[in-house]
Chain A
Amino acid sequence: MKYNREIGFVGFFLALYVLYFSLIETGPAKFFTAPNAQKLFYFHVPSGLITYLAFLMVVGGSAVYLYNKSEYADNLAKSSAELGIVFGFMSLASGTFWMKAEWGGDIVSRFLTDMRLASTLAMWILYVAYFVYRRQPENSIVKNNAAILGLSGMIMVPLSYLSSRFLRSHHPVIVGTEDQGSLDPSLRIGLYAGLFSFLLIYIFLFQLRMKIENLEKLILKNKMENA
């Protein structure tokens, strides 16, 4: 992409603005047990949503690869899986800190009993497995198996996203509910700015990762031709 570096800069500086906005501009949140830890909201929710986006891209890329063996689709799935793991780690870890401050109690039992936490962790571990599997030398069998594994996100992503609505979970639901409209304007500004900044950072890193992947494949191809 032509303006990828600029996208990265804008995303990074927007993230810094969200940091300033959440820590300095807004005071401690009302109606929360942990009013300071609530500020994690401005990064936790965007990173969670970007994780879903990244894993859905893996699903899409895997499906296209299985359909027409497109190398581009395979690269897309592989690159996006890495980013999904990074953003998923950020979402899960920050959520754990926030959960400990707001809800208290034992972290392990929370992850075992709350369906949102359990399904999100399971989804993340699944794509860690995908990433580990793809670290071996690539051939058509590896790519096929990886694509089948990548497709499992078709179940895992909706399961994680919808678990707090339909299964046993303490995790709040905001996006797509009546609560979204009643969000305090400051929360909304911070949330949308955070989401936009992480989206730009995702696009930047994704393009960079795709470029590296293409270069690696080009080198491999040249080596094979020279051999």
Chain B
Amino acid sequence: MRLICILVTISLLVGSVSAECRDKNCMPESYEFDNGGQFTFYYDSVFETGTNWFLILEGNNMEGYWNFIFEFEKGLKREAHLEDRDEYPESQQKNNSISFPGSTFSEEEFHKSLFVNVTDENGNLTSSFVLKIHINKAPAEDMIYLWGGMTVFWIGLGSYVIYLSNKFQKVNGREGA
């Protein structure tokens, strides 16, 4: 009984905790390639619906201007660029990032293709590849209240039936005696 009370109290008091990390150290996946420089994408292959999704671009030893187009499907794309002009030392690391809002997807889908096209400053396609992203739909926050409420009915009825059954056996025993 005490355990049930504790569980009910926790379920009522617990709030939703969510955090969006925009640091590359939080990103479990990385993708590296050479294209007139060393480029790395840091990202999470799981896109949680309702939470903004980030991808960090990093360029090392690069030269010139590179444009990156990330496209899930037609019309659903983001662009970012990395550039290294003469006024900056060549070895300096360049960073940029893109994000898709958490509302981009509403349904679960695995192995969703994120098409990445890399172009130079003249718009010529220099590289192209696909990243596989899994869209995950987190359980709704109100589910815990649904299960809590539903449990109440069965606990209520079950407890009363047990109470009546014990009472009935006791009375029957006394009647027999």
Say whether A37 contacts B142, CB under 8 Å. yes
Q: How far is the CB of A135 from chain B (nearest CB, A)?
A: 12
Query: Cβ of B123 < 8 Å from any Cβ of A?
Result: no
State in angstroms the CA–CA spacing of A151 and B159 once bound together.
Answer: 27
> B130 at interface (Cβ–Cβ under 8 A)?
no
Interface residues on A, range: 35 or more
Contact with B along A204-227 (1 / 0, CB 8 A): 010011011001101100000000
B162 to nearest A CB, angstroms? 12
**B7 close to A (CB within 8 Å):** no
In the assembled complex, A203 has its CB within 8 A of some CB on chain B: no
State the majority secondary structure of interface residues on B: helix
Chain A interface (Cβ < 8 Å from any Cβ of B): 15, 19, 28, 34-37, 39-40, 43-44, 47, 82-83, 86-87, 89-90, 93-94, 96-98, 100-102, 107, 201, 205, 208-209, 211-212, 215-216, 218-219
Query: Is A93 in contact with B161, judged by CB distance below 8 angstroms?
Result: no
Given known contacts A208-B168, A212-B167, is B153 in contact with A43 (CB within 8 Å)? yes
Q: Would B142 and A93 count as touching, CB distance under 8 A?
A: no
Residues of A within 8 A of B12 (CB): 96-97, 100, 107
Q: A98-B145, A100-B12 are in contact. Are A86 and B167 (CB under 8 A)?
A: no
B140 pairs with A215, CB closer than 8 A = no
- B148 touches A (CB below 8 Å): yes
Shortest beta-carbon distance from B104 to chain A in Å: 20
A86 and B152 alpha carbons, distance in the complex (Å): 10
- Which residue in B143, B148, B153, B171 is a CB contact (below 8 Å) of A216? B171
Q: How far is the CA of A89 from the CA of B164 in the complex (A)?
A: 17
CA gap between A225 and B89 in the complex, in Å: 110
Is B142 in contact with A36, judged by CB distance below 8 angstroms?
A: yes
Nearest B residue to A43 via CB reads B153
* CB-defined contacts of A44 to chain B, threshold 8 Å: 149
29 residue pairs A–B, Cβ–Cβ below 8 Å:
A34-B145, A35-B140, A37-B146, A40-B145, A43-B153, A47-B153, A82-B160, A86-B156, A86-B159, A89-B152, A89-B156, A90-B152, A90-B153, A90-B156, A93-B149, A93-B156, A97-B146, A97-B148, A97-B152, A100-B145, A101-B141, A205-B161, A212-B167, A212-B171, A215-B171, A215-B175, A216-B171, A219-B171, A219-B174
Nearest chain A CB to B137 CB, angstrom units: 12
Known contacts A37-B145, A90-B153; 7 additional CB pairs below 8 A are A35-B140, A36-B146, A40-B146, A47-B153, A86-B160, A94-B152, A100-B12
**Knowing A212-B164, A212-B168 touch, does A93 contact B152 (C-beta < 8 A)?**
yes
Kindly list chain A residues whose C-beta atoms are within 8 Å of the C-beta of B6: none
A24 to nearest B CB, angstroms? 13
B143, B145, B150, B157: the one within 8 Å of A201 (CB): B157
How far apart sit A216 and B170, CA to CA, in the bound complex (Å)?
10
A residues near B172, Cβ cutoff 8 Å: 215
**5 pairs of A and B residues whose beta carbons are closest in the complex:** A34-B142, A97-B149, A101-B145, A94-B149, A101-B142
Tell me the minimal C-beta distance from B167 to chain A in angstroms: 5
0/1 string, B86-114, CB within 8 A of A gives 1: 00000000000000000000000000000
Contacts of A19 in B (CB 8 A): 150
